[in-house]
């Protein structure tokens, strides 16, 4: 059996579109549960009449955040394989049919498929998870360090999901529960099935929490660093370079938003972690600028270079384009 757990918080009409995409599956989905995370707009108002008898609804007493809501809906699902998703995402009609084929003969722990980013009106980025690149990496852990794919769009063997321990509380990882979860999940070496076809549309909305300007540029990136440090015993020393460059990216983001003090502290983490390897990759001129004029001069010079020639700057600093939102 394959079940879908939907986390809902005031998505309104978008839930109706989501459920219609589930209703249109070429093979009916075995189990559907909606977890209403204490919404002001009840989810019951947006369920297609033809699905009312097939959907179980759980209403939370208070807003828990997406991670805790996903844990709750997974616990409620009885299926062998489960997909958790947001209430505004849309499945392709053959999603369930393809997933069924993947789960035969023992099946994997984790099924990853491509998804397209969707504005609500049009697709603006195809194959956003960039799963086709996974073979370029040493293993799944390295891919997870580099790529912030959406783990809520994956399909998990329920027993494997339970083994991960689920999502941590939003109070620990504000707005970045996804990244911490998929980083931690990667350390368990799951048996994975990759589908390079886009089987869903992940809706990207400006009014969603992850797009809130101040939150996106501060809490998200800070807790990304926290996730790295929390798992360093599992991932280091194998991934010093990845950590160092991620910290550089975070520091650059803070710097460009005027958070100079925070940027300096985070950049120093990159320097300390990367050591000689860091400066060898960054270049002797960068080291000289840093030692003589400080990190602000270094960042300013590279921001100027980036505006003139983004690709050359990325190549020099060994920063993966995806880390800067460039595809």
pTM of the model: 0.79
State pLDDT tens for residues 130-165.
888 887 776 787 787 766 656 668 999 999 999 999
Paired tokens of 300: 């300013």
With beta carbons less than 8 A apart as the criterion, state whether 5 and 74 touch. yes
Please state whether beta strands 155-157 and 81-86 pair in parallel, antiparallel, or not at all (unpaired): antiparallel
Half-sphere exposure for 94 (CA within 13 Å, toward CB): 7
Can you list the residues of the chain whose pLDDT is less than 70?
138, 146-152, 205-219, 221, 236-243, 274-275, 277-278, 281, 302-327
CA atoms of 39 and 31, how far apart (whole Å):
22
Indicate the helix (H) or strand (E) that contains 308: helix 295-308
Q: Where are the domains of the chain?
A: 2-205, 213-324
With beta carbons less than 8 A apart as the criterion, state whether 70 and 7 touch. yes
- What pLDDT score does 236 carry? 61
Q: Give me the CATH topology for the region 2-205.
A: Spore Coat Polysaccharide Biosynthesis Protein SpsA; Chain A (3.90.550)
With beta carbons less than 8 A apart as the criterion, state whether 47 and 20 touch. no
- What pLDDT score does 327 carry? 29
- What pLDDT score does 281 carry? 65
């Amino acid at each position: 059996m394959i079940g879908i757990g939907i986390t809902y918080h005031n998505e309104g009409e978008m839930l109706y579109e989501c459920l219609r995409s589930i209703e249109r599956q070429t093979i009916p989905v075995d189990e559907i549960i909606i977890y209403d995370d204490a919404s002001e707009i009840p989810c019951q108002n947006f369920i297609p009449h033809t699905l009312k008898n097939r959907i179980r609804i759980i209403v939370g007493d208070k807003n828990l955040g997406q991670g805790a809501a996903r844990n709750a809906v997974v616990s409620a699902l009885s299926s062998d394989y489960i997909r958790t998703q947001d209430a505004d995402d849309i499945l392709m009609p053959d999603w369930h049919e393809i997933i069924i084929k993947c789960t035969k003969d023992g099946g994997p722990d984790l099924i990853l498929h491509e998804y397209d980013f969707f504005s609500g009106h049009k697709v603006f980025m195809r194959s956003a998870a960039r799963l086709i690149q996974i073979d370029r990496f040493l293993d799944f852990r390295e891919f997870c360090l580099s790529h912030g794919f959406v783990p809520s769009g994956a399909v998990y063997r329920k027993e494997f999901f339970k083994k991960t321990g689920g999502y941590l509380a939003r109070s620990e990882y504000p707005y970045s529960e996804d990244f911490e979860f998929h980083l931690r999940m990667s350390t368990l070496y799951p048996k994975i099935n990759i589908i390079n076809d886009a089987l869903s549309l992940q809706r990207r909305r400006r009014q969603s929490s992850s797009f809130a300007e101040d939150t996106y540029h501060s809490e998200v990136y800070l807790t990304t660093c926290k996730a790295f440090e929390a798992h360093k015993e599992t991932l280091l020393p194998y991934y010093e370079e990845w950590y160092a460059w991620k910290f550089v990216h975070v520091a650059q983001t803070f710097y460009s938003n005027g958070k100079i003090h925070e940027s300096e502290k985070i950049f120093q983490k990159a320097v300390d972690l990367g050591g000689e390897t860091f400066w060898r990759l960054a270049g002797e001129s960068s080291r000289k600028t840093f030692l003589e004029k400080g990190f602000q001069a270094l960042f300013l010079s590279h921001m100027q270079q980036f505006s003139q020639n983004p690709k050359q700057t990325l190549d020099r600093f060994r920063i993966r384009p995806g880390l800067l939102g460039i595809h």
